[in-house]
Amino acid sequence: MSQEIEVRYLMIDWQSMGIARAIEAASVPLEIESSTEGEFVIESTIFNDFHPWLGIRLGSRFEGLEPTCVTASGQEAPMLRVLDPFGSGFWWLRDDGWDYASKRHLSELQRSPGTYNIRIGDVVLRVENRLSAFGRADIQAYIDDFRGDLLWMVINDGAGATATGTCTEPRTELADALEELHNASQRVLASPAVTIREGQAPQPISKVRPNTASFREYARNPVARQLTSRVFDRAEDIAENRYLRHMLSVSLKVAGAYLSAASQQSNFLERLASQENERAQNNRELEKRPVDPRVFDQQTEEITYKLNKIINFQNLPDDEMGRVGRFPICLGRRYYNEHSFYYTPQEGTRRNVDNDVDYRVIVLPVGLFELILGTYHFCRRFTIKGSADSCIRNTKSGKQFRQIKLNSVHEVVPQTEVLEKRTEKKQRLEVNNWHVRLTPSEKAELEREAKTGERRARRALDKKEEISFTVGEIERRVQRLAVTDDAFNHLGVQRSSNFPLGMRFVSNPDYAACLSAFNKVRDFFERGGLDMSKLEAISDIGILHASDIYEKWCLLKILQLLQHDFQFKAERGWEEKLIATSLGRATNVSFEFSRDDLEMKVTLTCQAEMPSGRRPDFILEVVNTDKELSWRQGDEVGRYGGIVMDAKFRSHWKKDELHRMLDELVLVKGYDKAVESGKVFILQPCESTVYPVTSPLEWGAHCNYGGTDSHHRGWIQTGVKSSGTRSTQHLKRLLALLFQSVFPEPQETANSHGEWEWVSHSFCIGCGERHRAIKAKRTKSGAMRWQLDCKQCGVWTLRTHCYDCKAPLFKSGTMWTYHDTIAEQVTNVICPGCGSHFDKELI
């Protein structure tokens, strides 16, 4: 249907009623989706300081039909058909009258939010018109950032502004080529090739070169001071010089694009260094940490809710015949059978039970078992009233154990002081103005983060200095090339991109040197798949289709993070794909990346078509290609970890609207079926979208990493205006979540010297360096945990397991940890699987 109905944003300059002087159309159309009611739906936006039209163009299927707008009362009004003066065909517009004062048509679609129905034959197109607080400046900020980063990645990818890799020598390739072109063009300017043309012009008697006209004039007037003479005109405006001016013009444009992108990267690095130094200073000066009372109260409410669910639980089968009794128990570890725990009788009841068994097991109803799992980390003592079957069983090893299987549950009384303790803790926090003093371990962790921040800041400034040196060199060449170009202009030389047919660029050494230098400039520019037409197209990206601009911006940021921050190597020809995707809309465009040192591959697919016909914006999949590691780990080669990301450009969200949007992506569109892990996240630019706030970390009010849903779904704030240099930190944390979920556990192997050491197929989430400094230690339960240090940037990761459900947990400091943490101690992470705390003594 999208091929037969095309909807785009338009900017129209009206000549008269029904006649357009010029129409500018957005580069890509709006996406048309089908609804469950059989209609087709598009989502459009009204901005606060510019008002594009919404134009509809019809294909051959609807030829001869006239679209109509259907009002709420069912009345139909014909739409206005306007000829595109410089395009092909007609656009259909909603017309609400002609304004004679401003000489333009009016349309409710430009200024009023709501739902509009358009009937095209037997097809209904529903337009969901949304109001946005964004304006021209906001959208232009995304375009400027996108354009600068795109040019920087393509033109000068080796000097990417990430402050994470090692510093390289300043790149002077372009500056050297410009210098070579300037020197050669100066030699040409000193003695340019010319063409000599004979003509006639009045000359003084002493300079006359006589011809027939001279003799006739002299015969008529022997005392004349001037006579018509043969003259020879020197003309520099020849094909070779015109092409030389073209080379100068192209070189100046290439240099200008480089300087614009480099300037943006330099400013980014300067702000990054400032923020990292500020963070380091704050970490060192911090003695007390503020506690967010909203998070504290929210976590208390969650505990209360879970306990009340247990208190209100009942399981009374209709055919219950057993004797009702009371079972005061203290739960131990989970038993290997489903819905079972080890247990011991509570103190004071042991005299009433047999003591000749080796251990005891209780089997719970499914509902009660799941509720108790949610409170297991802070409540182990329960008194359960109900009927049960009790028997003695024997294991294969000859041990005896008592099994109690509850058939009915009349009452459950959790016995815990957690709520009383939290009330006392809240009172202490209120007395201390909601601040807690840092523990020595927290201070040590903050000191480590401060050193990491300072190291990152130094590298950012080193990279900025490197870029500034290159920029300074290029700017000097540009100024001199501009003077040379202006000198040729004064000689009357025009520009022409047609290469001359003569042999002067071969035979003349100065012209040949100009051509050689220009080829170096062009090779530098076109190495990444750019040419002048694409540079012009990138420069001409307009603000009409803001949602598409945001989607392309997100794509670019994901590519930057994969390559610059995580050190993945892109496939050959990725630049051409990126440019083509950036300038249009394509489906199933895949970018492949690899880490040969880790035998890991990543595929990022844009507008991936699912069997259902739906197209998520981005699908990122990780593939393990290490056969030996897969065999040791018991995994299949090529096992996948993946995530679906969908970009939504909104200036605000209504209460619970993001939750409803997530439900639509999962339950209606089935995006969770696109990847094996079922992870689905929304990328959106708004801050403060999480309420009530669930995490006390910096991102807690802006991002939902799915900490209570095993990190399966949520939303991430990522954008230009509000976040500045932190515009992609939340997105980077999301990608770190994906990679850490698929990293295999470190393995102990013998090195070349016969010594045992730990080896990990993982990388630092700060800079992408492979983990080589690994320390292992066993927890109290006997499980292994590893501390993975990065000697490159200083970021460290602690990999351990939940002491209850054994789910893997990753601690990466206060900056990169994406697990939820408790309000009063942000280093204490909460298990996303069962809700247990990293340190079970801290409730």
pLDDT band at 157 (very low <50, low <70, confident <90, very high): low
Question: From 3.30.1120, 2.40.50, 2.60.40, 1.10.10, which CATH number describes the 314-418 domain?
Answer: 2.40.50
pLDDT at 170 exceeding the cut of 80? no
The answer, yes or no, to whether residue 163 has pLDDT greater than 60, is no
Alpha-carbon span 454 to 833, nearest angstrom: 35
Distance CA 799, CA 448 (A): 17
Write the DSSP assignment of 563-618 as a string of letters. Answer: IIIS-PEEPTTHHHHHHHHHHS--SSEEEEEEETTTTEEEEEEESPPPTTS---SE
Closest by alpha carbon to 290, among 697, 597, 669? 697
* Mean pLDDT for the stretch of residues 286-315: 91
pLDDT score recorded for residue 161: 40
pLDDT of the residue at 73: 78
748-757 own/partner pairs: CB under 8 Å, 24+ apart: 748/776
Looking at the chain, the domain(s) classified CATH 2.40.50 span: 314-418
Note the pLDDT tens digit of each residue in 184-207: 999 999 999 888 777 788 889 888
DSSP-assigned beta bridge partners for residue 713: 680
- Per-residue pLDDT, averaged over 508-531, amounts to 89
Residues 6 and 2: their CA atoms lie apart, in Å, by: 6
Lowest mean pLDDT segment, chosen from 80-84, 370-374, 528-532: 528-532
Write down how long the chain is.
843
Q: Look at residue 441 in the predicted model and tell me its pLDDT.
A: 85
Query: What pLDDT score was predicted for residue 703?
Result: 94
Q: What CA–CA distance (Å, rounded) separates 426 from 300?
A: 10
Contacts 24+ apart (CB under 8 A), 66-69: 67/92, 67/118, 67/119, 67/120, 68/118, 68/119, 69/94, 69/116, 69/117, 69/118, 69/119
pLDDT digits (tens, 9 = 90+) for 87-105: 778 999 999 999 999 999 9
Q: What is the DSSP letter of 486?
A: H
What does the pLDDT read at residue 160? 40
Contact 812, 796 (CB under 8 A): yes
d(CA 327, CA 535): 77
* Pairing label, strands 680-684, 640-647: parallel
Using a 10 angstrom Cβ sphere, with 0-12 exposed, 13-18 middle and 19 or more buried, the burial of residue 717 is buried
| Confidence band, pLDDT 50/70/90 cuts, at residue 587 | confident
Q: What's the confidence (pLDDT) of residue 582?
A: 85
Q: What is the pLDDT of residue 195?
A: 82
pLDDT of residue 725: 53
Question: Who has greater pLDDT, 38 or 741?
Answer: 741
Question: Is residue 475 predicted with pLDDT exceeding 90?
Answer: yes
pLDDT tens digit sequence for 171-185: 688 999 999 999 999
DSSP for 72-101, please give it.
TTS-EEEPEEEE-TTSSSEEEE----EETT
532 pLDDT tier (thresholds 50, 70, 90):
confident
pLDDT score, position 319: 63
Q: Is the pLDDT of residue 36 over 80?
A: no
Nearest to 48 by CA among 102, 113, 117: 113
**Mean pLDDT across 318-332:** 81
CA 775-777-779 angle, 5° bins:
150
The pLDDT-based confidence of 631 (bands split at 50, 70, 90) is very low
How do residues 343-369 score in pLDDT, each as one tens digit? Answer: 999 876 655 556 678 999 999 999 999
pLDDT at 207: 85
Burial of 23 (0-12, 13-18, 19+ CB in 10 A): buried
pLDDT for 721: 63
pLDDT at 109 exceeding the cut of 50: yes
- Which residues make Cβ contacts (< 8 Å) with residue 590, sequence separation at least 6? 603, 604, 605, 606
pLDDT score of 348: 67
Gap between the Cα atoms of 608 and 617, Å rounded: 7
- The helix, strand and coil proportions of the chain, stated in percent and rounded to the nearest 5, come to 35, 25, 35
652-688 tens-digit pLDDT: 999 899 999 999 999 989 999 999 899 999 999 999 9
- Distance separating alpha carbons of residues 665 and 714, to the nearest angstrom: 11
Tokens of 239: 């094909």
Q: Model pTM?
A: 0.86
Residue 135 has pLDDT above 50, yes or no: yes
Under the banding of pLDDT at 50, 70 and 90, the label for residue 322 is: low
Share of the chain above pLDDT 90, in %: 53
Average pLDDT over residues 746-769: 87
* Alpha-carbon span 10 to 563, nearest angstrom: 36
Residues 718-735, mean pLDDT to the nearest whole number: 80
Distance, in Å, from the CA atom of 582 to the CA atom of 530, rounded to the nearest integer, reads: 12
Sign of the alpha-carbon torsion through 481, 483, 489, 491: negative
Q: Strands across the sheet with 76-78, in order?
A: 33-34, 40-46, 123-131, 114-120, 68-70, 76-78
Least confident of 7-16, 259-268, 297-306, 529-538: 529-538
Q: What is the pLDDT of residues 47-68, one digit of tens each?
A: 888 889 999 999 888 888 899 9
How does residue 320 score in pLDDT terms, banded at 50, 70 and 90?
low
Reply yes or no: is the peptide bond before residue 692 cis, omega within 30 of 0: yes
Residue 837 pLDDT > 60, yes or no?
Answer: yes
For 329, other C-beta atoms within 10 Å of its C-beta total 21
- Looking at residue 832, its pLDDT comes to 87
Position 318 scores a pLDDT of 65
Cβ-based neighbours of 813, under 8 Å, separated by 6 or more: 445, 448, 449, 452, 795, 796
State the distance between the two ends of the chain, measured CA to CA, in whole angstroms.
56
Residue 168's pLDDT band (cuts 50, 70, 90): very low
- Mean residue pLDDT of the chain comes to 87
